[in-house]
């Protein structure tokens, strides 16, 4: 039996952990959030309750494995609570990084920090109640520009048009770098908002960009676009629901004009030409023409990227993995240091940490399980190490001033939240503040036999040559 550390408890991390634990190894999961699930808990649209509760049940089953240990509320990284070197000092036989893609592509415009300008990732975390985003100001106004034409943008549009409590939305304007054929919305996701599309205005917009699309041999007739990317246009009975959803194709944000109250007042956009790249794909080329959109909110959904604060070497798609010259399309899970051109021995990466924004939960699960398969193979060739027990690791984390949340605490929290839901007559209740969650756990925790046992802990068993001080350095 060998110890394996997993960083992150999203779908990739949890399903990787499950496979490694079922192979008979001891698995320790370190997670930034108190609760497990990652984007499955804090990204997937709030009203997809069946999907979310189904995933929660699967995650509970994973966590119920006796040789799988959980430390929530612990952020790993060179810039955070515990460094990767700290973890390595605890002598795991292998380490799997599944911390997702926590960064995002920025607009790189002055005014990006103005009130009312948000990255879609942060906005989604806010409405899904992830601390600390849940309690920060993500107020939206009446006219909202959403930059991007992918499924995250579709979720944001849906929230603004349909579900945000206390919304003031009058119009959502989708700002897209390229044209209507380049929309990447899944039919189902767009279906949630297409009733808000003003058909007349959409046709006018197609007319406005027609010449630029025709230059790339694109036919932007309503019929063709309806068959390609906006199926709602084929429906005769498209209802014009309020508030309205409009599109502004072939333009990119150029300038954020900030009002005296510090909030975005206008978005200046550059008109783009559509250019053919010669391989069947298109690109956008800025022209000298600009236009001004009067908006009080701007949310950009232009892609995610990995968090450099983890301190791992970065490659072109995410954290660097070993190059695979023989079959470049085959995924590689083994991490790599491009500076030394050597593998990071025993360190693997999976899920959105390996490839940002790639696929749904099922793909992340598959990726985590693939990585786990590689880890299990690797473990066959490495000797057993003298490593720590879960309660010892928990004590080390606590000695660093952290408040790790274990599986027992999660169970307690779940029980309190269920009780709160009943008391408030809600279908479900979810704390949106770490302090409130920790308090709830503390107050609920009975002085059980387990706690008595914890109090009578054995002396810490530290790997040879290491001292407590060097194991977890206080920063
Ligand atoms: C807005 C949105 C909506 C989506 N909707 C759907 C949908 O409807 N259906 C669907 O199937 N898929 C959906 N997805 C995709 C799905 O959520 C992802 O495929 C999946 O969650 C990726 O899993 P992951 O484990 O790689 O990363 P994540 O889910 O991002 O998990 C990362 C984990 O790492 C932890 N972590 C991060 N940084 C650190 C750190 N420094 N130290 C320790 N832990 C850390 C986080 O707490 C988290 O637990 C959606 C994604 C988004 C963004």
Residue of 279 and 92 predicted with greater confidence: 92
For residue 74, give Cα distances in angstroms to 34, 57, 398, 405: 8, 23, 10, 8
Ligand 1 atom closest to the Cα of residue 120 is: 1
Taking all residues of the chain, what is their mean pLDDT, rounded to a whole number? 92
What local confidence, expressed as pLDDT, does residue 470 receive? 45
Tens of pLDDT, residues 329-357: 899 999 999 999 999 999 999 999 999 98
pLDDT value for 441: 97
Name, of 103-112, 451-460, 465-474, the range with top average pLDDT: 103-112
- What is the pLDDT, as a whole number, of residue 420? 96
**Whether the predicted pLDDT of 456 surpasses 50:** no
Residue 457 has pLDDT above 60, yes or no: no
Task: Name the pTM for this structure.
Answer: 0.93
Burial class of residue 148 (count of CB atoms within 10 Å of its CB; 0-12, 13-18, 19+): buried
Mean per-residue pLDDT, 269-287: 94
CB atoms within 10 A of CB 463: 13
Centre of ligand 1 to C-alpha 112, Å, is 24
**Among 8, 73, 75, 153, which residue has the most ligand 1 atoms within 8 Å of its CB, making it the best to mutate?**
8
315 lines ligand 1 (CB under 6 A): no
Say yes or no: CB of residue 80 within 6 Å of ligand 1: yes
**Pocket perturbation via mutation, ligand 1, pick of 39, 158, 358 by most ligand atoms within 8 A of CB:** 39
Distance of CA 333 to the CA centre of its chain: 19
Q: Is the CB of 44 under 6 A from ligand 1?
A: yes
Cβ–Cβ under 8 Å, residues 229 and 185: yes
Average pLDDT over residues 323-327: 89
Say yes or no: CB of residue 264 within 6 Å of ligand 1.
no
Instruction: Provide the pLDDT for residue 1.
Output: 80
> Which range scores top for mean pLDDT: 204-208, 275-279, 320-324?
204-208
Closest to 14 (Cα-Cα) out of 251, 357, 365 = 365
Rounded distance between C-alpha atoms, residue 179 and residue 207, angstroms: 12
User: What's residue 464's pLDDT?
Assistant: 41
Strand partners, 291: 269
* 101 CA distance to ligand 1 middle (Å): 8
Kindly tell me if the per-residue pLDDT of 474 is higher than 60.
no
Q: Is 303 left (phi over 0), alpha (psi -120 to 50) or beta?
A: left
Dihedral (C-alpha) 48, 53, 55, 60: value to the nearest 10 degrees?
160
Q: What is the pLDDT of residue 238?
A: 64
Report the DSSP pairing between strands 103-104 and 304-305: antiparallel
Ligand 1 centroid to residue 218 C-alpha, Å: 36
Task: Report the range out of 248-252, 313-317, 319-323 with the highest average pLDDT.
Answer: 248-252
- With CA atoms as reference, report the closest residue to 40 among 16, 65, 9, 69: 9
Token couple for 138: 């993500």
78 CB near ligand 1 (under 6 Å) = no
pLDDT for 243 equals 95
User: Is the CB of 7 within 6 Å of ligand 1?
Assistant: yes
CA of 168 to the centre of ligand 1 (A): 29
Q: What is the mean pLDDT of residues 405-425?
A: 96
Q: Rank 78-82, 159-163, 194-198 by mean pLDDT and report only the highest.
A: 159-163
Pocket test for ligand 1, best of 62, 361, 362 (most atoms within 8 A of CB): 361
Q: Per mean pLDDT, which range of 144-153, 192-201, 295-304 is the poorest?
A: 192-201
Residue 462 pLDDT class (50, 70, 90 cuts): very low
Tell me the two tokens of residue 319: 């954290």
Task: Check if 153 has its Cβ closer than 6 Å to any atom of ligand 1.
Answer: no
Residue 236 has pLDDT above 90, yes or no: no
The model's confidence at residue 386, banded by pLDDT at 50, 70 and 90, is confident
What is the distance of C-alpha 152 from the center of its chain?
Answer: 10
Using one digit for the tens of pLDDT, what is the confidence trace for 106-164?
999 999 999 999 999 999 999 999 999 999 999 999 999 999 999 999 999 999 999 99
Lowest mean pLDDT among 301-305, 339-343, 386-390: 386-390
What is the structure's pLDDT at 8?
A: 98
Measured in angstroms, how far is the CA atom of residue 40 from the centroid of ligand 1?
Answer: 6
Q: What are phi and psi of 35, to 5 degrees?
A: -90, 150
How many Å lie between the centroid of ligand 1 and the Cα of residue 151?
14
Ligand 1 neighbour 33 (Cβ under 6 A): yes
Q: What percentage of the chain carries pLDDT values higher than 90?
A: 85
Ligand 1 near 271 CB (within 6 A): no
pLDDT at 463 over 60: no
Using CA atoms, how far apart are residues 55 and 53, in angstroms rounded to an integer?
Answer: 5
Rounded Cα distance between 99 and 84, Å, is 12
């Amino acid at each position: 039996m060998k110890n394996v550390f997993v960083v992150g408890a999203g779908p990739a991390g949890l399903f990787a952990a499950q496979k490694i634990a079922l192979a008979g190894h001891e698995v320790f999961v370190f997670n930034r959030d108190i609760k497990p699930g990652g984007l499955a808990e804090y990204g997937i649209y709030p009203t997809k309750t069946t999907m979310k509760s189904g995933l929660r049940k699967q995650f509970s089953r994973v966590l119920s494995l006796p040789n799988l240990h959980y430390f929530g509320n612990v952020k790993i990284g060179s810039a955070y609570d515990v460094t990767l070197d700290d973890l390595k000092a605890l002598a795991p036989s292998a380490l799997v990084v599944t911390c997702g893609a926590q960064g995002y592509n920025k607009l790189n415009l002055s005014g990006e920090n103005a009130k009312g300008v948000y990255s879609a990732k942060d906005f989604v975390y806010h409405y899904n109640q992830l601390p600390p985003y849940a309690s920060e100001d993500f107020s939206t106004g009446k006219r909202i520009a959403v930059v991007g034409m992918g499924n995250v943008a579709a979720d944001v549009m849906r929230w603004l048009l349909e579900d945000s409590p206390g919304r003031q939305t009058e119009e959502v304007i989708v700002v897209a770098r390229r044209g209507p054929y380049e929309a990447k919305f899944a039919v189902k996701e767009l279906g949630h908002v297409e009733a808000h599309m003003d058909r007349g205005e959409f046709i006018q917009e197609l007319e406005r960009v027609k010449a630029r699309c025709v230059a790339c041999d694109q036919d932007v007739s309503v019929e063709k676009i309806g068959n390609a990317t906006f199926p709602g246009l084929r429906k005769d009975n498209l209802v014009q629901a309020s508030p309205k959803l409009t599109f502004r194709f072939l333009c990119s944000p150029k300038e954020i004009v900030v009002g005296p109250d510090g909030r975005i007042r206008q978005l200046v956009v550059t008109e783009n030409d559509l250019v053919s790249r010669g391989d069947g794909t298109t690109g956008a080329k800025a022209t000298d023409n600009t236009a001004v959109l009067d908006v009080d909110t701007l949310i950009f959904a232009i892609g995610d990227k990995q968090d450099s604060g983890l301190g791992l070497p970065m490659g072109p798609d995410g954290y660097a993995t070993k190059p695979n010259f023989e079959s470049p399309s085959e995924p590689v899970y083994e991490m790599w240091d491009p500076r030394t051109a050597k593998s990071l021995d025993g360190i693997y990466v999976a899920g959105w940490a390996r490839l940002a924004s790639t696929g749904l939960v099922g793909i992340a699960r598959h990726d985590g399980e693939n990585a786990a398969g590689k880890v299990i193979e690797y473990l066959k060739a490495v000797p057993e190490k003298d490593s720590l027990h879960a309660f010892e690791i928990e004590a080390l984390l606590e000695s660093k001033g952290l408040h790790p949340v274990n599986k027992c605490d999660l169970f307690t929290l779940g029980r309190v939240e269920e009780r709160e839901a009943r008391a408030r007559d809600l279908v479900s209740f979810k704390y949106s503040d770490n302090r409130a969650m920790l308090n709830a756990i503390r107050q609920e925790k009975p002085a059980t036999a387990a706690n008595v046992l914890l109090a009578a802990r054995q002396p810490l068993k530290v790997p040879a040559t290491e001292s407590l001080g060097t194991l977890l350095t206080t920063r």
